[in-house]
Amino acid sequence: MLSDKELQDLIIVDLESDRVERKASIHEKDKISQAICAFANNLPDHCLPSGVVFVGVHDDGTCANLSITDELLRTLSDIRSDGNILPFPIMTVQKRILNGCEVAVIEVLPSDNPPVRYKGRTWIRVGPRHAQATMEEERILSEKRRAGSLPFDQHPVIRATMEELDLDFFRRSYLPSAVAPDILTDNRRSLEQQFASLRFITSDGIPNVASIIVFGKDPLRWIPGAYIQFLRIDGKEITDPIRHQREITGHLYDQLHQLDEIMSANISIAGDVRNRSTEIRQPDYPIVALQQISRNAVLHRTYESTNAPARIYWFSDRIEIYNPGGLYGNVNQQNFGQGMTDYRNPLLAEAMKVLGFVQRFGMGIPLARKELQKNGNPEPEFRFEPTGVLVTLKRCQ
Indicate which CATH number applies to the domain containing 273: 3.30.565.60
Arithmetic mean of pLDDT over the chain: 88
240 plus 381 within the same structural domain: yes
| 281 lies in some domain | yes
Beta pairing, strands 388-394 & 318-323: antiparallel
Comparing 35 with 84, the larger pLDDT belongs to 35
Q: Is 92 helix (H, G, I), strand (E, B) or coil?
A: strand
pLDDT digits over 60-104, tens only?
889 999 999 999 999 999 898 777 788 788 899 999 999 899 999
Whether residues 214 and 241 fall in one domain: no
In a domain, 154, yes or no: no
Same domain, 37 and 128: yes
Q: How far apart are CA 83 and CA 90, in angstroms?
A: 13
- Residue 241 and residue 217 share a domain: no
Q: How far apart are CA 255 and CA 251, in angstroms?
A: 6
Per-residue confidence (pLDDT) for residue 333, from 0 to 100: 84
Q: Does position 364 have pLDDT exceeding 90, yes or no?
A: no
Percent of the chain with pLDDT over 70: 92
**Percent of residues in the chain assigned helix, strand, coil, to nearest 5:** 35, 25, 40
Shared domain check, 335 and 312: yes
Residue 201 CA, chain-centre distance (Å), reads 11
What confidence tens digit (pLDDT) does each residue in 151-193 have?
889 899 989 999 999 999 999 999 888 877 776 676 677 889 8
Do residue 245 and residue 314 come from a single domain? Answer: yes
Together in a domain, 326 and 253: yes
Nearest alpha-carbon partner for 56 in 90, 28, 16: 28
Q: Decide if 257 is inside a domain.
A: yes
User: pLDDT-derived band of residue 143, with 50, 70 and 90 as boundaries?
Assistant: low
Find the CATH number of the domain harbouring 56: 3.30.950
Closest Cα partner for 382 from 311, 306, 320?
A: 320
DSSP structure string for 195-259: HHHTTSB-TTS-BBHHHHHHHBSSGGGT-TT-SEEEEEESSSSTTSPEEEEEEE-SSHHHHHHHH
Residue 275 is predicted with a pLDDT of 54
Looking at 149, 180, 205, the residue that finishes a domain is 149
The total number of structural domains in the chain stands at 3
Flag whether 126 is in a domain.
yes
Higher pLDDT, 26 or 274: 26
Residues 252 and 337 reside in one and the same domain? yes
Asked whether residue 123 is assigned to any structural domain, the reply reads yes
Tell me what pLDDT residue 289 has: 96
User: Which of these three, 149, 170, 205, is where a domain ends?
Assistant: 149
Per the rule left: phi > 0, alpha: psi between -120 and 50, beta: everything else, 159 is left
The residue from 149, 183, 204 where one domain ends is 149
Is a pLDDT exceeding 90 seen at residue 311?
yes
Tell me, yes or no, whether 236 and 374 share the same domain.
Answer: yes
Say yes or no to pLDDT of 121 above 70: yes
Residue 327 lies in domain: 228-394
157 in a domain, yes or no? no
Q: What is the mean pLDDT of residues 30-51?
A: 85
Q: Which of 42-56, 135-149, 295-309 has the highest mean pLDDT?
A: 295-309
Question: pLDDT-based confidence at 16, cuts 50/70/90?
Answer: low
Domain co-membership, 303 together with 210:
no
pLDDT tens-digit map of 274-299:
555 555 678 999 999 999 999 999 99
Position 338 scores a pLDDT of 80
Task: Quote the pLDDT of residue 315.
Answer: 97
Considering the domain architecture, whether residues 253 and 358 belong to the same structural domain is answered as yes
- The verdict on residue 155 lying in a domain is no
pLDDT in tens, 220-248: 999 999 999 999 999 999 999 999 999 99
* Mean per-residue pLDDT, 8-31: 84
Residue 241 maps to a domain: yes
Mutual orientation of helices 364-375 and 287-300 as an angle, nearest 10°? 160
* Domain match, 261 and 334 both: yes
Please, which pLDDT band fits residue 374 given cuts at 50, 70 and 90? Answer: very high
